[in-house]
Amino acid sequence: MSNDGEKGPKPGEAARRPGETKQAGGGTSPPAPRRRPGEKPFIPFARFEDVVVRCGHVEKFGLLPEGQDRFREGRRKKAMGRDCKACRERKQREEQEAAQARRAEKEKRKMQDAEQTPGPEKAARSQPGRLPDGSQFEVRYDAAKERWSGSLTVPTPGGTPATFTGSGSALFPLLANLDKQYRATLT
Ligand SMILES: [Zn+2]
């Protein structure tokens, strides 16, 4: 059941009706009219005053009639401790736009990765032929960065092996990229 008699109305909620006084120790307060939950007695603001809020802008602060505004100071403090409505809305809009920009940037990086590292079938088709005997791939996955990095070492007729390095988000495109780097030295 409601214990309004103990807690009283919340800040912002209209205070008790004129003439109604708080009963100490749960005395013989008249039965309150039944209200549906969430329904509050409506008392219009008597007047407004200008307060400077956190962002430095001025907002209208509504005052209930004298004697019916027990929580005025609490409400005032709360109003002054936050930004004005316009600033709060702008901030929310900026946060949404920043999140959108981050998503777009991520999508763009993904596309660039895909461009830089052609798919294995495509690389194989455009670069026929096999690697020299003893060619060696070495790859390592970094889970934190979600990237593969690795090298391809190819023996050369001169005796000094040629090494190609690279990294990418997917393993097979990385292998194809290293292979492509080697083949570019052949032309
Ligand atoms: Zn503001």
Q: What is the mean pLDDT of the chain?
A: 82
pLDDT of 54? 97
Rounded CA-CA distance 185/143 in Å is 31
Q: In this predicted model, what pLDDT tens digit does every residue of 34-45 receive, in sequence order? A: 667 667 678 889
pLDDT of 2? 44
pLDDT of 159? 83
CB-based neighbours (< 5 A) of ligand 1, an ion: 55, 57, 84, 87
The answer to whether 14 and 42 are in contact (CB under 8 A) is: yes
Residue 172, number of CB atoms within 10 A of its CB: 14
Amino acid 127 reads Q
Q: What DSSP character marks residue 141?
A: E
Which pLDDT band holds residue 5 (cuts at 50, 70, 90)?
A: very low
The answer to whether 61 and 49 are in contact (CB under 8 A) is: yes
For ligand 1, the distance from its centroid to the CA atom of residue 43, given in whole angstroms, is 27
pLDDT of 187? 74
Residues 6+ positions from 172 with CB-CB distance below 8 Å = 119, 120
For ligand 1, the distance from its centroid to the CA atom of residue 78, given in whole angstroms, is 15
The answer to whether 78 and 10 are in contact (CB under 8 A) is: no
Q: In this predicted model, what pLDDT tens digit does every residue of 54-77 receive, in sequence order? A: 999 999 999 999 999 999 999 999
For ligand 1, the distance from its centroid to the CA atom of residue 178, given in whole angstroms, is 55
Residues 6+ positions from 46 with CB-CB distance below 8 Å = 63, 64, 65, 66
For ligand 1, the distance from its centroid to the CA atom of residue 172, given in whole angstroms, is 53
Q: What DSSP character marks residue 165?
A: E
Rounded CA-CA distance 157/134 in Å is 12
Tell me: pLDDT of 15 over 60.
no
For ligand 1, the distance from its centroid to the CA atom of residue 56, given in whole angstroms, is 6
Residues 6+ positions from 40 with CB-CB distance below 8 Å = 9, 13, 14
For ligand 1, the distance from its centroid to the CA atom of residue 38, given in whole angstroms, is 30
pLDDT of 182? 92
pLDDT of 129? 81
Tell me: pLDDT of 90 over 80.
yes
Tell me: pLDDT of 10 over 60.
no
Q: In this predicted model, what pLDDT tens digit does every residue of 132-148 receive, in sequence order? A: 999 999 999 999 999 99
pLDDT of 156? 87
